[in-house]
């Protein structure tokens, strides 16, 4: 038996905000943003919530897999921007899509969240607890952004991406090129000591007994240089570790599906891995950085546009607040 992705889905808000729109809000320009990030536009929610976007992506993934919500045994939502602290977003999604037999919970590993959710579901399924799972990364980061801070507000977008994964027999997983569909290796980690490089506050200590408690900022704060240095070093390192675990090299990978944070980071990772940049598909120019949603949204785009063939080997990798990082080697 092996665990494979059987379907993908995504959902984006209708409103598109271009760099020229951003220039009306803060002192910036299309040229400045493109040169430093590669982003030209992003989707911003005017009514969608994390749970409604997640549910739409999950429904699309189920349809793509030819599965029903009745069959779903596990739902994991990766998010750092839920609209509610209680109940968790996964339980909201369970209610919206009507999946009564599923266990549901959230994971917050920021931009690495979808990978952490994938790896968690994979571990559950390998123990025999579940035979399938819906995993989704969903964010409405626009509500966490300080729209007067040009160093962060130009980066982020809203959206959701999902995948339906299930246990399949080895025979059914066999591909014509000799590979076997499924997850081949997993690497994930954290560097909590450097967590202050990317942060966003929630409620501080506030009760009748607290005295002069400091309230944290409720906007995203980022030390861009520190995050860049972390990403350009840690992402290729964890990808190399995942490749080693799978017993292969970068030349054996058909596509590297990376967290879409910054085109310069992606180019640096490709250079360090000595891999052709053409193997690194990107959509950040159209959607920006959607945190946990970036990898599954890009994966869904590749799937639905016919750019993924059965037996293709992919590396999924990301990094985010925490600081967290991860990589998974999978065969489509």
Say whether 45 sits in a helix, a strand or coil. coil
Catalytic residue among 88, 91, 259, 262: 259
Q: Is 111 a residue of the active site?
A: yes
Say whether 49 sits in a helix, a strand or coil. coil
∠25-29-32 over CA atoms, to 5°?
A: 130
Q: Is 101 a residue of the active site?
A: no
> Strand 132-140 to strand 158-168: parallel, antiparallel, or no bridges (unpaired)?
antiparallel
DSSP state of 308: -
Contacts by residues 127-130 (CB-CB < 8 Å, ≥ 24 positions apart):
130/73, 130/74, 130/103
Separation CA 39–CA 285 (nearest Å): 4
Separation CA 202–CA 212 (nearest Å): 17
Catalytic residue among 111, 153, 200, 238: 111
User: How many Cβ atoms from other residues are within 10 Å of residue 266's Cβ?
Assistant: 23
Separation CA 119–CA 208 (nearest Å): 41
CA 100 to chain centroid = 25
Write the DSSP assignment of 68-108 as a string of letters.
Answer: -GGG--EEEEE-S--S-SSS-HHHHHHHHHT-TT-EEEEE-
Q: Is 289 a residue of the active site?
A: yes
Q: What residues are paired with 18 via a beta bridge?
A: 41
User: How many Cβ atoms from other residues are within 10 Å of residue 141's Cβ?
Assistant: 28
Catalytic residue among 108, 262, 289, 303: 289
Active-site residue numbers?
A: 111, 259, 289
């Amino acid at each position: 038996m092996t665990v494979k992705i059987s379907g993908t889905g995504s959902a984006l808000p209708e409103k598109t905000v271009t760099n020229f729109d951003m220039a009306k809000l803060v002192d910036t320009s299309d040229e400045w943003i493109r040169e430093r990030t590669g982003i030209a536009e992003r989707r911003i929610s005017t009514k969608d919530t994390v749970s409604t976007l997640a549910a739409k992506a999950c429904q699309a993934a189920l349809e793509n897999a030819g599965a029903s919500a009745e069959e779903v045994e596990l739902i994991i939502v990766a998010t750092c921007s839920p609209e509610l602290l209680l109940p968790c977003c996964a339980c909201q999604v369970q209610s919206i899509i009507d999946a009564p037999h599923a266990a549901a919970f959230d994971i917050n590993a920021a931009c690495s969240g979808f990978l952490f959710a994938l790896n968690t579901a994979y571990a559950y399924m390998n123990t025999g607890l579940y035979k399938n799972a819906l995993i989704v990364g969903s964010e409405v980061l626009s509500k966490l952004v300080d729209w007067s801070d040009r160093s962060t507000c130009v980066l982020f977008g809203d959206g959701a991406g999902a995948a339906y994964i299930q246990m399949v027999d080895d025979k059914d997983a066999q591909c014509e090129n000799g590979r076997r569909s499924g997850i081949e290796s997993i690497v994930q980690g954290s560097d909590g000591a450097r967590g202050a490089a990317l942060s966003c506050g929630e409620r501080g200590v506030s009760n009748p007994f607290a005295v002069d408690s400091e309230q944290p900022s409720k906007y995203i704060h980022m030390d861009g240089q520190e995050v860049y240095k972390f990403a350009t070093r840690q992402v290729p390192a964890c990808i190399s570790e995942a490749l080693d675990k799978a017993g292969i090299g970068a030349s054996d990978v058909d596509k590297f599906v990376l967290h879409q944070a910054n085109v310069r980071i992606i180019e640096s990772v490709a250079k360090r891995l000595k891999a052709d940049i053409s193997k690194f598909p990107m959509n950040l120019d159209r959607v920006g950085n959607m945190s946990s949603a970036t990898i599954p949204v890009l994966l869904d785009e590749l799937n639905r546009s016919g750019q993924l063939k059965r037996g293709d080997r992919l590396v999924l990798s990301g990094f985010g607040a925490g600081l967290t990082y991860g990589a998974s080697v999978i065969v489509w």
